[in-house]
C-alpha cells in the first residue's frame, strides 16, 4: 500500500486543528483515538500535511488523484470509516477505534 503517513510531527496550526477535529468527532461518535501515541501522531501529521498541500484533510492512507470529485470521499472522516470500524474495530488509518475492541 502507498501510505503517506509521516513520522515527523509539525505541530503547527493544521496539526492542532486536525487533532481537535479528530478528538471531537471521536467523542461525538463514541469512538476513541488510537491509543498508540506514535501511530496517532503519524496519522494527524498526515492529515495536517494533506491540508497544507491539498487544502483538505484527506485520509493519509488513501491515494489522492487530484480530481476533487473523486477524492472528496477521502476527506477525514472518510466515507469508509464506519464500515471499517464495524468490521475491524478501527478505520484503515487506525485513527478512530471502537473502544470495546481495543
C-alpha grid cell for residue 88?
A: 475491524
As a dihedral over the C-alpha atoms of residue 18, residue 74, residue 80, residue 1, rounded to 10 degrees, the angle is -100
Helix (H) or strand (E) holding 96, with range, is: strand 96-97
Q: What is the pLDDT of residues 20-69, one digit of tens each?
A: 999 999 999 999 999 999 999 999 999 999 999 999 999 999 999 999 99
E-assigned strands of 18-73?
A: 32-33
Domains of the chain plus CATH, in order, are 13-101 (3.90.460.10)
Omega prior to 77 cis, within 30 of 0: yes
The whole-model pTM stands at 0.88
Amino acid at each position: 500500500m502507498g501510505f503517506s503517513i509521516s513520522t515527523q510531527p509539525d505541530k503547527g496550526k493544521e496539526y492542532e486543528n486536525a487533532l481537535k477535529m479528530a478528538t471531537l468527532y471521536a467523542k461525538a461518535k463514541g469512538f476513541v483515538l488510537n491509543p498508540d501515541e506514535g501511530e496517532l501522531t503519524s496519522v494527524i501529521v498526515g492529515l495536517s500535511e494533506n491540508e497544507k498541500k491539498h487544502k483538505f484533510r484527506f485520509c493519509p492512507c488513501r491515494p489522492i488523484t487530484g480530481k476533487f470529485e473523486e477524492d472528496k470521499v477521502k476527506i477525514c472522516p472518510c466515507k469508509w470509516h464506519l464500515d471499517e470500524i464495524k468490521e475491524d474495530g478501527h478505520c484503515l488509518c487506525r485513527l478512530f477505534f471502537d473502544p470495546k475492541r481495543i
